[in-house]
Chains A and B, each alone.
Chain A
Amino acid sequence: MKAAADATRRGTRAAKVMEPFTALTSSCVVLPAENVDTDQIIPARFLKTIERRGLGAHLFADWRVDAHGEPRPEFPLNSPDACGASILVAGHNFGCGSSREHAPWALLDFGFRAVISTGFADIFRNNALKTGLLPVALATSAHATLLEQLAESPREQVTIDLETQTATLPDGTTHAFTVDPFARHCLLNGVDELGFLLEQDDAIAAYESTHTSRVCTR
């Protein structure tokens, strides 16, 4: 029984759960607002789904669409320049608020693979890294430079290279960013942390043997 369970777990080890992320060159959508919260990214009324897919249709629903269901032309995602862009450039503290993983799911489902900001809320960053959406935190000066360049030439492309942890801006300058080494390994290979954690079975069992359960919910 135990051997079978172990085999099952070993089988899960290399499970590819997301598209690997190595490097990406794309045009960008610029949403310069600071403190964009997850209620804006995906409003709560769309969280009644039991699926991961399909949320892109509702990404930024209340900013993207007016009360009559018509696209707001002034919203950056509705601009013709947004077409085909897989990088979102946002203001500081992107993704604050709720822990809903539906936020990165919605961004991915819409077609984004990376978000560039100067900083991310902790839970959003964790969720993004686990779903294959790369949060790129640039230095404030590099971020400001990028915004200026995209204001002048909105269709210019940015290259994000996770191997080298660099972003190359339209003017050719290269700027470093850092991603947790383990999350980077997972993204480069398209694997999640669950395989690694399942391999810790012996260590977890050893811990449990000395750490008395605090409660029993049964």
Chain B
Amino acid sequence: MTLPRTLFEKIWDSHLVRPEKESTPAVLYVDLHLVHEVTSPQAFAELRNRGARVRRPDLTLATMDHSTPTTPRSAGRLQVLDAQASAQLEQLETNCEEFGIRLFGLDDTRQGIVHVIGPEQGLTQPGMTIVCGDSHTSTHGAFGALAFGIGTSEVGYVLATQTLLQRKPRNMEVRIDGVLPAGVTAKDIILAIIAKIGIGGATGHVLEYTGSAIRSLGMEERMTICNMSIEAGARAGLIAPDDTTFEYIAGRPFAPAGADWDAAVVRWRGLSPDETASYDRSVHLEAASLAPMITFGTNPSMAIPIDGRVPDPSDAGSRAERADLDKALRYMALEPGQSLLGRAVDVVFVGSCTNSRISDLRQAAAVMRGRHVAPGVRMLVVPGSRRVKREAEAEGLDRVFMEAGAEWREAGCSMCIAMNGDQLEPGQSAVSTSNRNFEGRQGKGGRTFLASPLTAAATAVSGAIADVRSLS
């Protein structure tokens, strides 16, 4: 008789090549390794230095997303004008060719943000272990896969051995029950969670999101939630797979088919946490109490309901916290007690691995339809993948955005990380659907307010931070 286990524990246990000892961490097997241009070149170089091969190219997939341009294609091709980015992209091509790894390059119709294409291609499946040299790998946890970000050294270890040395993280339940009010989305849920537990509140933990509000979400909304688990410091975020999960995966290019599908679903159904399984910690939120959220500061935990007030640093619990808040308000040019509603913005960005999927674009388009981007505001809409872009165009969403005066761009990480030329100018403010509002994240000296696609679109048409619930 085995002890009752959580979803995390079931996946962990089934991927142990060697169990953990005091002297050595566990050797954990990796089912899928995703690779992109920015965090892999030095790992491939190390493989060459050591005379090592890629152990399982068949469990490895590469794409280009971080430093890729999102400006329109010319004769079907992207023009990479930045010489350093171009060299980095070419290096990935060389590495994939030399080591036999499939690459969804710039000319591939499946290219896109690594955390968008894994799920949409059916590669992300329940019960798997998935790693990538990118902290937002936690996104894939929406499928009940244990997925986490690693550094470049570890990218090399996985390429060479398909394993990692890992200490078992602790397990924290985040339960959200009830029904979401109108205008409140997955992005608002996760911003509220991070505000509650703090920027480092989940350090050393894998989060498991449970409760009726989570069960009612679609897969893309679940991805938004798991995506930002890292912003609370978590190693990973997980949601147990259910019929919603299976329906999403069915029929996708890399999904199992026929008898394999039936067997997979049986296996996946066994992943749900045992009823009496216990967690190291638990937090609870009521969906009905949530409002649209927006960040005011310089890390994702500095968030408030959109109709709330910027907190006063003098109310902070500790001196360090007060200093942190003071610094953030200075950078953001905000006063304690101020409302964010009506604050002018220069740019609105809809995109990133958090909110660039078709449902995100539909939400933004629903607000934009028949309205216009306010004078003086630049709005960029950047689909997460070429597939999302085609899907949006087939529905006419591109026309909705362009008729409203927004820019409809090629797929990539774009202004979330501002490596590709899409960036804020010093002093500019942006409402962004991305995941990080760190100083300079969207361009040196730029100020970022994180929010949902609904809030972003409402802001774009208002020219200032706006509450979608009161849009006339």
Contacts and interface: CB of A to CB of B under 8 A. Distances in A.
B161 A200 contact: yes
Interface string A12-31: 10010100000000000000
Contact of B85 (A48, A123, A207): A48
Given A91-B320, A182-B25, A214 B31 contact: yes
B423 to A, nearest CB: 8
A9 B52 contact: yes
Contact of A48 (B17, B67, B128, B161): B67
A107 to B, nearest CB: 13
A18 B20 CA distance: 25
A121 B14 CA distance: 26
A14 to B, nearest CB: 11
B335 interface: no
Contact of B102 (A11, A52, A122, A218): A218
A44 B87 CA distance: 16
B419 A215 contact: no
A40 B439 contact: yes
A45 B17 CA distance: 38
Given A49-B84, A197-B161, A203 B17 contact: yes
A196 B165 contact: yes
Interface in A120-141: 121-123, 126-127, 130-131
A180 to B, nearest CB: 7
A207 B55 CA distance: 14
B184 to A, nearest CB: 26
Contact of A37 (B14, B53, B160, B438): B438
A197 B163 CA distance: 7
Contacts of B59: 213, 215-217
A216 B151 contact: no
A49 B163 CA distance: 26
Contacts of A12: 50-52
Contacts of A151: none
Contacts of A8: 51-52
Q: Interface of chain B, helix or strand or loop or mixed?
A: loop
Interface in A178-218: 180-182, 185, 192-194, 196-198, 200-201, 203-204, 207-208, 211, 213-218
A92 interface: yes
Contact of A67 (B419, B426, B441): B426
Interface string B157-190: 1001111110101000000000000000000000
Nearest to B52: A12
B84 A48 contact: yes
Nearest to A128: B151
Size band of the B side of the interface? Answer: 35 or more
Contacts of A49: 84, 88
Given A39-B436, A180-B167, A204-B163, A33 B154 contact: no
B109 to A, nearest CB: 16
Interface string B232-262: 0101000000000000000000100000000
B24 interface: yes
B436 A215 contact: no
B52 A119 contact: no
Interface stretch (B34-42, B281-289, B352-360, B452-460): B34-42
A9 B203 CA distance: 35
Contacts of A161: none
B462 interface: no
B29 interface: yes
Contacts of A39: 436, 438-441
18 contacts: A44-B419, A47-B38, A49-B88, A92-B200, A101-B133, A127-B151, A194-B52, A194-B153, A197-B157, A197-B160, A197-B161, A200-B18, A201-B161, A204-B29, A207-B17, A217-B58, A217-B102, A217-B123
The 9 A-B residue pairs with the shortest CB-CB distance in the complex, in nearest-first order? A127-B151, A93-B200, A50-B41, A101-B151, A99-B149, A130-B153, A48-B84, A101-B152, A99-B135
Given A5-B53, A48-B84, A211-B14, 5 more contacts: A34-B323, A43-B444, A122-B235, A127-B154, A214-B125
